[in-house]
A and B are shown apart, each in its own frame.
Chain A
Amino acid sequence: MDKKLKKKNYRVNSGIHFMLGNYAVVEGALAGGCDYFAGYPITPANEISELMSKRLPEVGGVFVQGEDELFSIYSLVSASLAGAKAMTATASAGFNYMQEGIGYACAVEAPCVIVNVQRCRGENFATQADVMQMRWGASGDYESIVLAPSTAQELFEYTILAFNLAEEYRNPVIVMSETTLALMRERVEIPAEEKIIKKRRKYTTLPPELYLPFKAKKNCPPDFAPMGKGYHTLYTLNYHNEDGTIDWNDKGYRKLYQRITGKISENRDKICKAETYFMEDADSVIIAYGSEVRPALDAVEIARNDGKKIGLLKLITVWPVHENLIVEIAKNVGRVFIAEMNIGKYAGEIERLCLPYCPVNRITKNMGIIHTKDEIYSAIKEAL
């Protein structure tokens, strides 16, 4: 075996780097324990596959470039159920194809991580237009966990977080990247290996004869059994009983999907993360996620210099919605602004939560380019 190759056998690339956003995802995945990656070429997500194809085998993982995105998502699910921490990366058009497999992963409760680098239709310009698709793009009932980084550093950190959430809740977790972030180089600080928190799904302690693959406490994922050890689990998309077998019954179906959606929606406050800026005395607030956080924060700073009391709520978790926090803020401010790079999609959610308490202004831009701080600030000035 090539000695040079062995030398690089490290998972955590500790140190300070000037790193491409897409590479930060790879480093985050490796630090988070990823050991299976399947991908299909698509711009602007290619650098993730490219670096993975080199780095992952070096640390003992498996890399496969499949024949299409459907291959990626299904091989991800089966590798995951064979015990892998599995990931794929794609861009909007490829993400469409993956919906089918995401629905399956939710139904059989397979943990996996999907990075979606959003781009405009057919063109590699910036957008956040897939924000709704990432929630409920597949058929059937399910809930998604979607994380929205706004810097290369966060691409690294949230990819680790995505693996941990996927393992903890046995659900697909989507890292919502954007052209803007993926193809940008920034400072990325990678901590020492021992500082990185890594979670693993709960394995069953029961022997095969007592184990029921889909028996779980209310709003919890079931315990996992390894493959090829006599647990003979049937992973089917169809309605399945606690023992995994197909046997349609209406009450069982309701109970199963209450649990599969409830494990996310009822644990919302544990899953959701957000950051606030200048909120102590704010009388109006901008809500933003992903790259839009950057111009929004700049706009807040200009507003503060002009004596306007504006704060910023940065949503780290886009789905499930951080309902309690958003409602709490809406109750305490006079106006909410929602800034996003699409025709105004997440705005609907914000209006649903905030309108009973305060007016909501949409600051949307759908031109393949990020807002400037001045655009956001002038929209604020106009409304106030």
Chain B
Amino acid sequence: MSQLKKNPLRKYIRNGKLPHFFCPGCGCGQILNYFLKAVDDLELDFEKIITIGGVGCTARIPVYLNTDSFHGVHGRTLAWATGIKTYQPDLKVVIFAGDGDLLSIGGNHFLHAARRNLDVVVILVNNFNFAMTGGQVAPTTLLDSVTMTTPFGSKEKPFDSCKLAACAGATYVARWSTAKPIQTIKSIKKALQHKGFSLIEILSQCPTNFGRYALKTGDPQKVLGWIEEKSMTKVKAEKLSESEIEHKFILGEFIHKQQPVFQGTSVFREVEH
């Protein structure tokens, strides 16, 4: 009899927490895998990683991880992160946030944490809508998209979270999609090793809500295909005019620089490494 192979990343999963609750075809499971692959490749001390999720589909990722975790309040992930990082700087904090969590209700915390260059990794899973609540318009929903609260199409322009983070002062910024596992994992690794505010936006498919309402398909492959079709690498985009890339998702690494990190006012505290 052949022996069952155990997934090497299984050891990072909280006991008995699988199968997860994500919809079939959702990108969150992939992102969970990408993150663990990055952690495993880097051989990081998993005990020293604190994972944080707010409220939403993405926010459930930490629930499955065998770490100290915070979960369950909408938008306050970066406030939690600041409390931990200023009090115990030796811990590594990773945030999993959806676009609604990070850019809508948590928008102010996002700007200020980036401005301060708080040493934290933010994995932003952008599925273009509020998915857990049933598919309402989000700050990332594209213009004219139909959602549950924009039956005539969204009349608001979406945020470009990478540009926003860069303007606010983030020191590592990248964007990839779930269809680009190699690049995504590489960026997560860089962010985990980077000292400062890191944002990795991962464009992800939500077949259940965004797919069905905005794209009129519940097929995850088609939703992913739509993301792929609209995506373009930074290298390619740089050669094109602004009007040619207007409605494209630009993928790549935008910022990577070293700057002093935030520690609160703490005159006599030495940062432990």
Contact = CB atoms under 8 A, between A and B. Distances in A.
Q: Indicate, yes or no, whether A interacts with B.
A: yes
A63 B14 CA distance: 34
B71 to A, nearest CB: 4
A67 B112 contact: yes
A61 B72 CA distance: 28
A78 B267 CA distance: 21
B268 A231 contact: no
A38 interface: yes
A104 B72 contact: yes
Given A60-B269, A64-B264, A78-B81, A83 B68 contact: no
B79 A82 contact: no
Given A61-B266, A232-B14, A232-B68, A78 B90 contact: no
B63 to A, nearest CB: 6
Interface of A: 1, 5, 9, 35-36, 38, 53, 56-64, 66-68, 70-71, 73-84, 86, 100-101, 104, 107, 227-238, 245-246
A237 B73 contact: yes
Contact of B109 (A71, A76, A100, A231): A71
8 contacts: A36-B86, A57-B265, A73-B79, A75-B79, A79-B83, A82-B87, A227-B88, A232-B69
Interface residues of B, number: 39
A234 B69 contact: yes
B22 to A, nearest CB: 14
A74 B85 CA distance: 13
Contact of B50 (A68, A227, A237): A227
B265 A62 contact: yes
Nearest to A59: B268
B84 A229 contact: no
Contacts of B267: 1, 5, 57-58
A237 B83 contact: no
Given A82-B88, A101-B76, A227-B50, A62 B264 contact: yes
Contact of B14 (A60, A100, A238, A245): A245
B83 A77 contact: yes
B87 A79 contact: yes
A5 B73 CA distance: 39
Task: Output the residue of A71, A107, A230 with the most chain B CB within 10 A.
Answer: A71
B125 to A, nearest CB: 19
Contact of A100 (B47, B73, B112): B73
Nearest to A53: B265
Interface of B: 14, 16-17, 47-48, 50, 62-63, 66-73, 76, 79-84, 86-88, 90-91, 108-109, 111-112, 263-269
Nearest to A225: B68
B80 A77 contact: yes
B108 to A, nearest CB: 5
Given A57-B268, A58-B268, A78 B84 contact: yes
Contacts of B269: 57, 60, 62
A230 B80 CA distance: 19
Contacts of B109: 67, 70-71
Given A57-B267, A66-B79, A227-B84, 18 more contacts: A1-B268, A38-B83, A62-B264, A67-B108, A75-B79, A75-B86, A81-B70, A86-B83, A101-B73, A228-B50, A228-B88, A230-B47, A234-B62, A234-B71, A235-B71, A238-B72, A245-B16, A246-B63
A71 B79 contact: yes
Contacts of B264: 62-64
A107 B7 CA distance: 34
Contact of B84 (A1, A82, A246): A82
B80 A232 contact: no
Contacts of B63: 234, 236, 245-246
A62 B73 contact: no
A267 to B, nearest CB: 26
Nearest to A35: B87
B70 A235 contact: yes
Contacts of A234: 14, 62-63, 68-69, 71
B204 to A, nearest CB: 22
A232 B72 CA distance: 16
A236 B90 CA distance: 23
Contact of B266 (A63, A73, A236): A63
A106 B197 CA distance: 30
B175 to A, nearest CB: 25
Contact of B82 (A5, A75, A104, A236): A75
A127 B253 CA distance: 54
Nearest to B75: A70
A76 B80 CA distance: 8
A38 B62 CA distance: 26
A280 to B, nearest CB: 50
